[in-house]
Structures are given as structure tokens and as C-alpha cells.
Amino acid sequence: MTRRVYIGVAVLLAIACVLPFVVSNYRTFQLTLVLVYAIALLGLNILTGYNGQISLGHGAFYAIGAYSAAVLMDRLGAPYWATLPAAGAVCLVAGFLFGLPALRLEGLYLALATFALGVSMPQLLKYHHLEKWTGGVQGIVIAKPEPPFGLPINPDQWLYLFTLAVAVVMFVLGWNLLRGRVGRALIAIRDQHIAAEAMGINSALYKSLAFGVSAMYTGIAGALGAIAVQYVAPDSFTIFLSLVFLVGIVVGGLASISGALYGALFIQFVPNVADEISKAAPWAIFGLFLIGFVYLMPAGVAGAVRMLLLRLWGKSAK
Amino acid sequence: MKRKLVPIAALLAAALASPATLAQKKYDPGASDTEIRIGNTNPYSGPASAYGTIGKSITAYFKMVNDQGGINGRKINFISYDDAYSPPKTVEMVRKLVEQDNVLFVFQTLGTPSNTAIHKYMNMKKVPQLHVATGASKWNDPKNFPWTMGWQPNYQTEARIYAKHVLQTKPDAKIAVLFQNDDYGKDYLKGLKDGLGAKAASMIVKEVSYEVSDPTVDSQIIQLQSSGADVLFNITTPKFAAQAIRKVHDIGWKPTHYINNVSANIGSVLTPAGLDKSVGLISVAYLKDVADKEWVKDRAVMEFAEFMKKYYPEGNLMDGSNIYGYTVAMTLHQVLRQAGNNLTRDNIMKQAASMKNYRIDTMLPGIRIDTDQDDFAPIESVQLMRFNGTQWDRFGEVMGK
């Protein structure tokens, strides 16, 4: 089974590498956004899926990451690739600090606290004492990275491949983190935090760490997203973004690494499909899709895929 | 060098003069013998969805044009996507329009942040970003952005006109300003301060902002009243404008009340606020207001009403956004008529930038569309007006350029 998984991942990766050369630049751009969302969703999944802390404000960390990248590139002339670790570090600290007081809050109360963060973020970004950095309501326009070393590909393809490389690194790191001691500790806290503490797990530390790491993932995604869109503005990071992230991990599959990818495909493409079906009520159509997914795949797309594969392999093994 | 150019010039002149070249059809992606594809994004959902009706009225307008045989024999395929007023979504949708739907150009993309997000892209791709639906002043920059053009009078110009009026009529005024905390509000505020010049600091006694997400502006109005101001500048979008007008009246404050053109609409602002409470409001306009009794028998307005009834019956006739959409679509109609069979992106910009004193009858008398190679601001004049309880009385000259 594990060998099959490795082969599957390798095939997927090969397809992912070839894709930008067979589809149009516009599709390549959309796929880049899918990868960006997948990283953000993986981050949220570490917190919500694995550790059971609900966040309604991850759009805020996405915004912080995006603005870190944009400010570094625009005001300080930093190269785009160097902004990723910086955005990650800023969000790691921001997430950890936000996680400390949030520790005292459980379940719905934590959801409310993070909601407050998400809702206030666009207004904080407009704050006029920060304007010389953030550009205020006008936002910041950033330049598109050119392919390095004179590679014979266009900027869209390069950005996709760059994002893909970052996504692979982030997913491998995430997988490493979650399959071992740390992952088990996070899940133990989620399932029964008193029992987990009785086993000697430092619940407070792990919870704030989960918050920090989760924010870091989302922040790096935000930075990549800003580079892909080439523009940041407060209106890009409304509370709706945070809610869409939550929708993404639930549809994709809670506590599942591959679920982040399915969720990203869902939040990228389903609104477009809905818009094409009905201009008058695209979100009603989106809602129907959402209800459909939740009914038909209660464990998320990842759960459904797992079941399907088990059934197929189960038969072939006989 | 000069002598070398002579034969080339002669050749060029010959080529231009030959009828074969004149009749030759020239197309860029999105144009053909039968069709012109035009792209657009509008906020059909999200926080600014009230403006979505602009996209719908333009869609309806081109449906009418197609029913009447199209433009120079070509049907208009107007492709409009929802961007929910989110800049990243605008980028995605506009890239789809340009790279996948192969539109000839995009038209009336709505919102300052959304248009800022695609500004560079459109100019790099050399695809026209025509008549954008925002009043920011930055769209008139043909030197750096030769592929982008605005349409409506810009916010700063309008605010300077109010400032001039205050300085003339009430030079010792104490001014209070209520503004929306975004680029639109700040653009107005800047225009106002520029217009007041050196006296701005002493005349403006209080500035208060609100967020689009605020439920009301009641507390802001009370703050402004307590400053002792006798002039109120109301830089708000329709919902907040109606609230502000009512609150000012209800607390018995009687300042000279200037309201920006964005909200100078009888149907969607003054009626909900209360017509009796709106008496004395000063604003400017460049389009005819359908709810204004002065235009009941106006031919252009009657044609517009007819159009609404037939092609967009679910739209609100009184909503100023609809006559706006209709008028801007008529502007594009003229650009395309002028372009004739030369439907290249280059020529579209050239035609849009050579409209000389063009009149559309849904605009107020005296307002004209005027552009040239160095001036990408089609409408630059407005007229002051005062509300008398049933309709707007226009006064003074048509001002602006």
C-alpha cells in the first residue's frame, strides 16, 4: 500500500510538472492559485483538522503574508523568493502570539476570537499611520518575477513551477511533522486533551505551536498569492476569504494532507462553474454544490477517495 | 536621413490614398466579419453588488444593439463575469477574458482596486482597458498607461468645484467632512483641500470617516454637528448618504449640505431619506436624473425608459446606475462605429481618444465627451444643482474643463 502511494505521488508530481506546458497561460495561472490555496489549506488543516482548534480568521494570516511579501519587494527591493521565508517567519510569530491568549478559549469562543481577527484585518491594513508601507486603500502593485538563468519558459510557467516546488517542500515538511510524535500529540489533544496531558503532552505549548506553524503555512501561501496576482489591497482579504478557507478544508477532508489539494481545487474552480451556471445567483449554486459535497462525501473528498481506493485495491488483491 | 524618408513617405501616402487599403478589413483577436467580443467584470455578488446593475444594463444595451443589426454588421458579444469586488478575482477573470475568451478589449471593469490590479497587465498585453467604472484621477495617464481610459468626471475635479463654490458664496465657512474611508473618499477629500488651497486648514474644522461595513453613520453626524460647522461635505455612497441626510435633518442641524454626485440620486437616495428632508442639498450632475420631473417629456430619457421596459424590465428605472450604464454603452457604441472595419486594439484606443465634443442626449445640456491623444478623460465637466423638494434646480455655468 505505501509503495502504491509513493508511485501515485510520483505520477501526480510528473503530471503537475508537465501541465503548464500543455495548458494555456491563463489555466497555468489558475493552477498556480490552486497550489497557493493548497498550502494555505494545509496550514489551516494542521490547526483545525489535526488539532481541533477552529479558526475563522486565517484570511488575516494570508493577508499578513501577502503584505509582508509586497512591502519587502516594493519598498525594500527584496527579490521575490526571499520574501517567502520572511513572510513565513512574520506569520509564525504572529500566529504564535495570537495563539497564546487564544489558548484560554475553547471551541466556539476561539472561533469568535479568530473571526474578530479576520474581520478587522482589512481595516487594520487601511490604518493611515501604516500607509507609507501598505499603500493604504490603494494597495501595492508588484512586479512579476521573470524566469531565471534565461530558461526558455514564460513568467506564468516559471511562477507555477516555483510555486509547485515550494508546495512540494511544504507538503513534505507537513507530512513529516504530522506522521510522527508531534502529529500524534496534536491529534491526542484534539480528541481528549485531559488524557493527552495525563500522558505528559504539554498541551499549551503544542497548541500555540500548532497556531504558529499553521499561520506560517498560510502566510507563505499569502506571499505566493501576492506574487502571482501582482497586487495586494485590503479588499482582497475580507472575512469571506477566511470562510472560504474553512469551506476548503471541510470539503477537502479534515485531518488529511491530500485533502488540502482537493479543497484548493474546490474553492478555485467551483465558484467559476457556479458563475457560469447562473449569473443571477452564483452563490446559491455554490451553496448547492457545497451541500451536495457534504452529503455525498461526509469525510471530505480525501475520505471518499480513500474509500474508493481501498475498495478497488481490496478487489484486485483477491 | 531626411532624403531617405521622402520615398517612404510617398509610398505611405500612396498606400493611404488607395481605396483598396481603405476598404481592407483589419482585425485583432476578438473581432471578425460577424462578431466583436468585449470583456467585462462587475460585482454581481459581494459588498459592492449594488453596482452590478451597471453590468446588467450594459448587457441589455448590447442585446438591443444586436437586435437592431449590430454595429457595422457585426454582433456584439459582451462577456461579463462576476468578480465580487475582489481584486485577485478580477485578475483571474480578466486573464480569462484576454487569454481564453480572446476579447478585443475590456470595457467598464468596475472598482478602483479591481482596475488597479489589472492596470499593469492590460498595458503590458496592449489590450485596451476602456472607460473604466471608477472616478479615480489616475486613469487619465496616456503617457505611462496608453491602453487605459476612464469615462466619468473624476472625484478630484468634482470636489474642486464644490470648494470653488464655497469660497465664492461663504468665504468664512466652517466645514465638516464626512467621508468613506477608502480611495474614493480620500480622492474627494484631496480635491476639496486642493480647491480650498491655503484656507483648507483653517476652514475644515472636522473630518470624520466611516467604513463601508458600518451599519450607520449616525454617530459620525453627531460628532460633526458638535464641531459647530455650518457647511457639511457629504462624501458617501448611496446607503450612507440617505442615512446622513435624514440624521442631519432629525437632529435639527442646518448646514449648507453638499452631497457628492455618486449619491445625488432622487430615486435611490433622496426618496428613502425623505424628499422634504433633502431640500437645499447641493450637488453636481452630468447625467439626467430619470426621477427628475424636468425630464419627463425629454426624448432621450423616454427612449431610455422604453429600453429599460423592453430589455431590462427587472432593473429599477430610477436607479442612477442604469442610465449610467446605458450612457457609457452608447459611448462605446460610437467608438466602435468610428472604428469601422479597422478593428485592431490600436485603432480602438485611437478612436476612443479622438472623440470631439461628442454629445449623448442622456447627459445634461452642455456636457460633452472630449478626448485627444494627451487627454484620456472623456467627461470633465459638471453642473451645480440644488434640490428644491421635488427636483434638482441646476444653476451656474457648466464647470470643469
Q: Give the model's confidence band at B50: pLDDT under 50 very low, under 70 low, under 90 confident, else very high.
A: confident
Tens digits of per-residue pLDDT, B98-109?
998 999 999 999
Which is higher by pLDDT, B151 or A122? B151
What local confidence, expressed as pLDDT, does residue B7 receive?
A: 53
| Range B41-60 average pLDDT | 89
What local confidence, expressed as pLDDT, does residue A315 receive?
A: 62
A204: closest CA of chain B, how far (Å):
35
Q: Give the model's confidence band at B5: pLDDT under 50 very low, under 70 low, under 90 confident, else very high.
A: low
Single-letter amino acid, residue B378: P
| Range A226-247 average pLDDT | 89
Which grid coordinates are listed for A4?
502504491
Superfamily of domain B25-153+298-382: Response regulator (3.40.50.2300)
What is the CA A57 to chain-centroid distance, rounded? 12
**Residue B338, CB-side half-sphere exposure with 13 Å CA sphere:** 17
Instruction: Order across the sheet with B282-285: list the strands.
Output: B204-210, B175-180, B231-235, B256-259, B282-285, B381-387, B392-400
Q: What is the span of the domain harbouring residue A38?
A: 2-241
pLDDT greater than 90 at residue B294? no
Instruction: Classify A32 in phi/psi space as left (phi over 0), alpha (psi -120 to 50) or beta.
Output: alpha
Q: What is the mean pLDDT of chain A?
A: 87
pLDDT greater than 90 at residue B138? no
Tens digits of per-residue pLDDT, A197-206?
888 888 888 8
Single-letter amino acid, residue A18: V
What local confidence, expressed as pLDDT, does residue B1 receive?
A: 44
What local confidence, expressed as pLDDT, does residue B17 receive?
A: 47
What local confidence, expressed as pLDDT, does residue B19 receive?
A: 46
pLDDT greater than 70 at residue B197? yes
Contact criterion met (CB below 8 Å) for A190 and A184: no
pLDDT greater than 80 at residue A64? yes
| Range A175-182 average pLDDT | 89
Q: How many residues does chain A have?
A: 318
Bridge partners (DSSP) listed for residue B234: B178, B259
Backbone angles phi, psi at A174, to 5 degrees: -65, -45
> For a pLDDT cut of 70, what percent of chain B falls above it?
94
What local confidence, expressed as pLDDT, does residue B21 receive?
A: 45
What local confidence, expressed as pLDDT, does residue B401 receive?
A: 61
Cell 458638535, residue? B226
Contact criterion met (CB below 8 Å) for B45 and A287: no
Which grid coordinates are listed for B351?
478612436
Question: Apex CA B51: angle with CA B48 and CA B53, to 5°?
Answer: 140
| Cβ contact B88–A24 (<8 Å) | no
Write the CA distances from B243 to A118, B90, B347, integer angstroms: 27, 31, 46
Which is higher by pLDDT, B6 or A292? A292
Fold agreement between B25-153+298-382 and B155-285 = yes
Contact criterion met (CB below 8 Å) for B296 and B28: no
Taking the domain B155-285, which CATH number applies? 3.40.50.2300
Partners of residue B190 in chain A, C-beta under 8 Å: none
Q: Give the model's confidence band at B18: pLDDT under 50 very low, under 70 low, under 90 confident, else very high.
A: very low
Contact criterion met (CB below 8 Å) for A157 and A164: no
Partners of residue B86 in chain A, C-beta under 8 Å: 235-236, 238, 240
Q: Is residue A304 part of a domain?
A: no
Please tell me whether residue B148 adopts helix, strand or coil conformation.
Answer: strand
Tens digits of per-residue pLDDT, A88-136?
999 999 998 888 877 778 778 888 888 998 988 888 888 777 777 777 7
What local confidence, expressed as pLDDT, does residue B251 receive?
A: 94
Distance between CA B262 and CA B326 in Å, rounded? Answer: 16
| Cβ contact B100–A26 (<8 Å) | yes
Question: Closest Cα to residue A287, out of A273, A305, A307?
Answer: A273
Is A47 in CB contact (< 8 Å) with chain B? no
Single-letter amino acid, residue A104: R
Taking every pair of Cα atoms in chain A, the longest distance, rounded to a whole number of angstroms, is 69
Partners of residue A24 in chain B, C-beta under 8 Å: 99-100
Nearest CA in chain B to A271: B82
Is B46 in CB contact (< 8 Å) with chain A? yes
Q: How many residues does chain B have?
A: 401
Other CB atoms within 10 Å distance of the CB of residue A12:
12
Other CB atoms within 10 Å distance of the CB of residue B260:
24
* Structural domains in chain A (count): 1
Mean pLDDT lowest for which of B180-184, B240-244, B376-380? B180-184
Nearest CA in chain A to B91: A229
| Range A261-267 average pLDDT | 92
Question: Closest Cα to residue B36, out of B107, B133, B95, B134?
Answer: B107
Q: Give the model's confidence band at A67: pLDDT under 50 very low, under 70 low, under 90 confident, else very high.
A: very high
| Cβ contact A139–B211 (<8 Å) | no
Burial class (CB in 10 A: 0-12, 13-18, 19+), B213: exposed
Q: What is the mean pLDDT of chain B?
A: 89
Q: What is the DSSP letter of A299?
A: T
Question: Closest Cα to residue A215, out of A53, A76, A80?
Answer: A53
Partners of residue B100 in chain A, C-beta under 8 Å: 24, 26-27
Which grid coordinates are listed for B202?
483653517
Interface-testing mutation among A231, A237, A269, with chain B (most B C-beta atoms within 10 A): A231
A279: closest CA of chain B, how far (Å):
7
Tens digits of per-residue pLDDT, B51-71?
889 999 999 999 999 999 999
Distance between CA B325 and CA B339 in Å, rounded? Answer: 21
Is A225 in CB contact (< 8 Å) with chain B? yes
Partners of residue B96 in chain A, C-beta under 8 Å: 26
Burial B97-125 (b: 16+ CB within 10 A, else e): bbbebebbbbbbbbbbbbbbbbbbbbbeb
Partners of residue B88 in chain A, C-beta under 8 Å: 33, 225, 229, 231, 236
Q: Give the model's confidence band at A163: pLDDT under 50 very low, under 70 low, under 90 confident, else very high.
A: very high
What local confidence, expressed as pLDDT, does residue A61 receive?
A: 94
- Domain spans of chain B, in order of start: 25-153+298-382, 155-285
| Cβ contact B117–A233 (<8 Å) | yes
What is the CA A225 to chain-centroid distance, rounded? 10
Partners of residue B186 in chain A, C-beta under 8 Å: 136-137
Contact criterion met (CB below 8 Å) for B220 and B206: no
Cα four-point dihedral sign B200, B206, B209, B215: negative
